[in-house]
Amino acid sequence: MSPLIIRPSQKLRAKYRLLTWLWLGLIGLGTMLFAFVIGLDTAGYSGAMTGLFIALLLNLLWFLPALWLVDRYFESIRYELHEDEIIVQVGIWTHSVKHVPFRTITNIAIKRDILDRYLFHIGTLEVQTAGFSASQSGAEETLAGLVDYEGIYGMVADALRRYRTLPMSPAQSGPDTLPTNPTDLSALLDEVRAIRTLLAAREGGG
User: Which DSSP letter does residue 116 get?
Assistant: I
- Listed by start position, the domains of the chain span 8-75, 79-164
> Does pTM surpass 0.85?
no
Q: What is the pLDDT of residues 147-197, one digit of tens each?
A: 999 999 999 998 888 877 755 444 444 444 444 555 555 666 666 677 777
Q: Which residues contact 9 (CB under 8 A, 6 or more apart)?
A: 120, 122, 145, 146, 147
Query: Quick check: helix, strand or coil at residue 136?
Result: coil
How far is 168 from 160, CA to CA, in rounded Å? 14
Alpha helices (runs of H) in the chain, residue ranges in sequence order: 10-75, 114-115, 130-135, 149-164, 182-205
Query: Quick check: helix, strand or coil at residue 80?
Result: strand
- The predicted pLDDT at position 45 comes to 74
CATH top-level class for 79-164?
mainly beta
List residues bridging with 85 in a β-sheet: 101
Q: What is the pLDDT of residues 103-138, one digit of tens each?
A: 889 899 999 999 999 999 999 999 998 765 445 556
List residues bridging with 88 in a β-sheet: 79, 98
End-to-end CA distance of the chain: 65
User: Which DSSP letter does residue 196 get?
Assistant: H
